[in-house]
Amino acid sequence: MISDQVVPWLLAKYDVSATIVTRVLNTIGLGESDLDSRIADLFHAGVNPSIAVLAHFGQVDVKLTAKAANREAAIAMLDQLEPLVRERLPDCIYAVDGGPIEHVVGDLLRARAWTLATAESCTGGLIASLLTSVAGASDYYLGGVVSYANEAKLDFLDVAPDLIEQHGAVSEEVATAMAVGVKAHLRSTCAIAVTGIAGPGGGSEEKPVGLVYVALTGPDPQAEVRKLMLPGDREMIQRRAAIAALSMLWKTARA
CATH of the domain at 127: 3.90.950.20
Q: Are residues 161 and 66 in the same domain?
A: no
Of 49, 2, 44, give the one whose Cα is nearest residue 21.
49
49 pLDDT exceeds 90? yes
Q: Any residues with CB less than 8 A from the CB of 21 and at least 6 apart, and which?
A: 65, 66, 68, 71, 74, 75, 78
Q: For residue range 168-226, what is the model confidence (pLDDT) as tens digits?
A: 999 999 999 999 999 999 999 999 999 999 999 999 999 999 999 999 999 988 899 99
**Phi, psi at residue 55, to the nearest 5°?**
-90, 130
User: Can you tell me the mean pLDDT for 65-92?
Assistant: 95
State the total domains in the chain.
Answer: 2
Distance CA 119, CA 178 (A): 6
Total number of residues shown for the chain: 255
pLDDT of residue 221: 80
Beta-carbon count within 10 A of 118 CB: 31
Pairing of strands 116-120, 141-146: parallel
Give the model confidence (pLDDT) of 29-38 as tens digits: 888 889 999 9
| pLDDT of 3 strictly over 80 | no
Query: Does residue 42 have a pLDDT over 80?
Result: yes
Q: Which residues pair with 216 in a beta bridge?
A: 192, 224
> Are 18 and 69 a contacting pair, CB within 8 Å?
yes
CATH number at residue 17: 3.30.70.2860
Average pLDDT over residues 13-34: 85
Strands (E), 97-181: 116-120, 141-146
* Same domain, yes or no: 202 and 240: yes
Q: Give the residue numbers spanning the domain of 12.
A: 2-96
Q: Measured between alpha carbons, how far is 113 from 246 in angstroms, rounded to an integer? A: 17
Mean pLDDT of 100-106: 96
Q: Which of 78, 96, 114 is the last residue of a domain?
A: 96
Residues 168 and 191 in one domain: yes
| Among 96, 116, 138, residue at a domain's last position | 96
The residues near 168 (Cβ < 8 Å, ≥ 6 apart) are 174, 207
Residue 63: beta bridge partners? 24, 52
Answer yes or no: do 134 and 150 share one domain: yes
Same domain, 195 and 141: yes
Same domain, 196 and 176: yes
More confident site: 15 or 238: 238
Q: Are 106 and 229 in a shared domain?
A: yes
Same domain, 42 and 113: no
Same-domain pairing of 194 and 149: yes
Strand duo 60-68 + 93-96: pairing: unpaired
- Cβ(22)–Cβ(64) under 8 Å? yes
Q: Residue 194 in contact with residue 242, Cβ under 8 Å?
A: yes
- DSSP state letters, 114-127: --EEEEESTTTTHH
The secondary structure of 32-93 as a DSSP string is HHHHHHHSHHHHTS-SSSEEEEEE-SS-EEEEEEEEESSHHHHHHHHHHHHHHHHHHSTTTE
Domain boundary among 63, 80, 96: 96
* pLDDT computed for residue 100 by the predictor: 92
Strands (E), 77-184: 93-96, 116-120, 141-146
The pTM score is 0.88
Residue 13 confidence class, pLDDT cut points 50, 70, 90: low
Tell me the per-residue pLDDT of 138-172, one tens digit each, with 9 for 90 and over: 999 999 999 999 999 999 999 999 999 999 999 99
